[in-house]
A and B are shown apart, each in its own frame.
Chain A
Amino acid sequence: DAGVIQSPRHEVTEMGQEVTLRCKPISGHDYLFWYRQTMMRGLELLIYFNNNVPIDDSGMPEDRFSAKMPNASFSTLKIQPSEPRDSAVYFCASTHLVRENTEAFFGQGTRLTVV
């Protein structure tokens, strides 16, 4: 398996623009997580899905952030409008809950810079 695939790897955008980050989880995994990583706050969970259904979005910072998972192999995280403080590395991770085994695998991340 190719692992969790995220795109783009890097994104530079102007304040106010819409940004869409994409994730393809590992095939067969039924949990998908979106994380944001910054120096100040470390790894923060934004939202996670189980079987394409959002389970917990309490980490989504504002209404400007939205996430969808239209099918088992694709998810998006959208920021509209983007602001400089959204600059961070965004990670997607997936896992398959088999009994107690819950090893989450991460993508390589999208480095977002909002100028």
Chain B
Amino acid sequence: GQQLNQSPQSMFIQEGEDVSMNCTSSSIFNTWLWYKQDPGEGPVLLIALYKAGELTSNGRLTAQFGITRKDSFLNISASIPSDVGIYFCAGQRYGNKLVFGAGTILRVKS
């Protein structure tokens, strides 16, 4: 089945530092999505990517859809304490189910 490899599994960084995480797959996807999950809540969509090579920003967040359609990365610049949570990548092919990565746990030291 389709599998997504998300890395790193966890990060413990200093406030103000930049963060980078990525997902790779052996399969091609037509859509890449990045979600954040806070404790006790459902995943919330951060950024959606629809075209190979697309680079999209949302405030301090930047994500890219890899040229090969098999990977994506998410960058967070100048991290702040409220960035803590679990970040998930998800890939989807047309009309098919979303496949999620295992998540990256982000902790920020003030």
Given contacts A33-B97, A33-B98, A100-B94, contact A106 B42 (CB under 8 A): yes
| A109 in contact with B33 (CB, 8 Å) | no
> How many whole Å from B42's CB to the nearest CB in chain A?
4
User: Which of chain B's residues 81-104 have a Cβ closer than 8 Å to chain A?
Assistant: 88, 90, 92, 94-95, 97-103
| B41 in contact with A108 (CB, 8 Å) | yes
Q: Give B28-63 as 1s and 0s: 1 = Cβ < 8 Å from A's Cβ atoms.
A: 001101010000111111001010000000000000
Q: Is A17 interfacial (CB 8 A cutoff)?
A: no
Which of under 10, 10 to 19, 20 to 34, or 35 or more describes the interface residues of A?
A: 20 to 34
| A43 in contact with B88 (CB, 8 Å) | yes
Q: Is A107 interfacial (CB 8 A cutoff)?
A: yes
| A109 in contact with B98 (CB, 8 Å) | no
| B98 in contact with A97 (CB, 8 Å) | no
User: Which of chain A's residues 12-54 have a Cβ closer than 8 Å to chain B?
Assistant: 33, 42-43, 45, 48, 50
Count of chain B residues with a beta carbon within 8 Å of a chain A beta carbon: 24
Cα(A103)–Cα(B90), bound, Å: 10
Chain A residues with CB under 8 Å of B99's CB are 45
Chain A residues with CB under 8 Å of B43's CB are 43, 91, 106
> How many whole Å from A26's CB to the nearest CB in chain B?
12
| A42 in contact with B100 (CB, 8 Å) | yes
Chain A residues with CB under 8 Å of B48's CB are 101, 103
Given contacts A43-B88, A45-B97, A100-B94, contact A109 B31 (CB under 8 A): no
Identify the B interface with A (CB < 8 A). Answer: 30-31, 33, 35, 40-45, 48, 50, 88, 90, 92, 94-95, 97-103
Identify the A interface with B (CB < 8 A). Answer: 4, 33, 42-43, 45, 48, 50, 56, 91, 93, 97, 100-109, 111
Give the 4 A-B CB pairs with smallest separation, nearest first: A106-B42, A43-B100, A42-B102, A106-B43
